[in-house]
Structure 1
């Protein structure tokens, strides 16, 4: 009986610890949501556009491949031409305007 009680106390203690951790994480998420909302409002007051707005043309470009097979083929071709060896007839160098990562 003592062993069962000790085991039950251990399980209950662990459950309460997990509940406290969950509550703490939910509080952090709410604080982050509030911070994001405040930053968004501050940016709107300064007439700054959110990053999602600036990236919308790129998003639309890549999402068109979901609705059009020719668009998918063109986008894949544009990417694939940089993924083959440089001496391959379909290969090409990265355009000079692009920033190359450090080696």
Structure 2
């Protein structure tokens, strides 16, 4: 069983979101989103590489690693969609 994320986990995630929000002053939201996904894919691949002895081992575990990262993103995305659907008016139409 994985431990529950602590406050530092959410603080790090918020820091990435704040950076993306700042970048939207200079770029379209879709481009900022694509940049964030690209960075996450690059970082996740690097992380996986650090766990391998060599390229052959990395290739051997390629599909398993990709499945893990895609599955984790999928679950997180579903959770956030459910949260936004349940709280749409509060999140998207804040009162002044």
The answer to whether TM tops 0.5 is: no
Structure 1 or 2: more helix by fraction: 2
TM-score interval, normalised by the smaller of the two chains: 0.3 to 0.5
TM-score, length of structure 2 as denominator length: 0.34
Find the structure with the greater CA-based Rg.
1
Q: Tell me the TM-score normalised to structure 1 length.
A: 0.32
Q: Tell which has more relative contact order, 1 or 2 (C-alpha 8 A, sep 6+).
A: 2
